[in-house]
Chain A
């Protein structure tokens, strides 16, 4: 093999067998490089793993130097080749600051290539997280006694921490708050649930704290897009709605701490999002006419995944009340347990929802109770609904009362075969009716056997009266929203 070096060129040019080339096939191409995350956190991510690529050498020495150039950690001692090194801050601690990671390639004991890159030791964390955007208020009905309502107003922090660590361990995110009746006395002790319309893209605003030592460190959520706000907080918005319908979303959020070089650490944030059909359907916004946690937790769990329309949601609520709550009609007298009307009319029905939730007065109910429940539940999850009274004194076709498995047209036995009034619910001034008190006979002859169960889910208002009433002159009246307490 003959190699000739040609002179007067800007780079070495070699001629081999008459062919000019700039390549040197037999000369070693010494090279070393470092790659991987470039930040470590003694409590969140104490091990900085770095991949080392080298060529042609026979050993690599990897060290970490502080700002003065002093070696604070030796990650590879130069006795052989390595393809990965780790800086474990637990074994070789270093204060928060900027450092240099340096790799030296050795060949025959000589330094033949060097790679350096900045790395950082940080101590960071999140001290507060607040869901914003089109969030819906949530209410706990027992903040120091029944009827002592406390609302998160739709803008309260979901969690807050007094510090990011105690000096030895990172402060964990508080557990989810599971009490559906009362809020936590110490708001830093729990992560509170929040509510949104099912098709919204929630925004979570973080307050971060700690010391990044100048590292280009950013906080993110997997599947969300995050930006810095003018107030120094970090706002992350979901890239897509979290579900395809109403329900309860409890998948923890994956919080990531990253630099352009890669992910440093990942934290799991527990969340519970109540995904409503929309804002509450009540005709007034103040406390307590907001979604009660004790109600929406139960109702959304029961109707999860139902088609996200007002009719489908209210229909599912009717079935939930009729079948799932172990309620039974008061066949003795048809008396209400949880609702009272105003003095001398059917106006201003007041549902004692607090007492119902603990079944303080039992599970024997009447039509007023069922209408009050369906109306309250539906309005809370975002499907507007009124109650309506059917007057008066009419005889019944066959019905199957709530809590019973037989049809009768005399629900009070020998005490009566009719209603003096009947309470139902409607979203559209009695054009369509929802009723959880009873199932109608859905066949062509509701006045005699056999019977076909027809739950009252979006039944035409006229058809409802035809199927319910055997004789009389029923009419709808007092259509309005009621009170809750």
Chain B
């Protein structure tokens, strides 16, 4: 099957923003499924959340704006479905199920535009990862994604995705920053 990925030009459910390859973004740091991923940019950082639904991203937007003095973005510079900013250093927008927070020293809107332009449509939400028994003992992830985070268990050092003792939770992030979760039965 050939999957065609393309840039997204309208609100809706998107795959997300590629965690690598967007000009100006540093290496991604993956937080939690409910908080998303983050990356440094010149003069600051961005946070990106991709939710299963638009409502999830809208909730994230509320939290991102909490406590900040932001104004609704003028229609002339509106990105996505809703956007807020302080006129220079902060900009927050949501396009469908993708929400983005930009905090830089100045020029937040330019960074936000770069990220908005990078939103892609693509494959369906990733399936929950599987932990498979290893021949030599322990467990190994069936799907590695681009990053794996976990709690509990005992990692085999320098063998990411491999444990000598079963972890409590595992999150696998895909190339668009979407999390797939596994919990110890």
Contacts and interface: CB of A to CB of B under 8 A. Distances in A.
Interface of A: 143-151, 153, 183, 185, 286-289, 332-335, 337, 340-345, 348, 350, 352, 354-355, 360-362, 412, 415-416, 419-421, 483, 485
B6 interface: no
Contact of A352 (B29, B66, B148, B150): B29
10 contacts: A143-B157, A147-B30, A185-B157, A287-B167, A288-B151, A333-B89, A342-B63, A343-B34, A354-B29, A362-B44
A360 B40 contact: yes
B168 interface: yes
Interface string B59-81: 11011001111000000000000
Contact of B66 (A337, A348, A421): A421
Contact of B47 (A334, A340, A485): A340
B152 A287 contact: yes
B44 A185 contact: no
A151 B31 contact: no
Q: What does DSSP make chain A's interface, helix, strand, loop or mixed?
A: loop
B123 interface: no
A419 to B, nearest CB: 8
Interface of B: 26, 29-32, 34-36, 38, 40, 44-45, 47, 56, 59-60, 62-63, 66-69, 86, 89-90, 103, 147-155, 157-160, 167-168
A335 B68 contact: yes
Contact of B153 (A287, A335, A350): A287
A292 to B, nearest CB: 14
Contact of B149 (A147, A334, A355, A362): A147
Contacts of B160: 144-145, 148
A293 to B, nearest CB: 13
Contacts of A355: 29, 38
A87 to B, nearest CB: 46
A261 B158 CA distance: 48
Given A145-B160, A185-B158, A352-B29, A335 B62 contact: no
Contacts of B35: 340, 342, 350
B83 to A, nearest CB: 16
Contact of A144 (B26, B32, B45, B158): B158
A332 B67 CA distance: 12
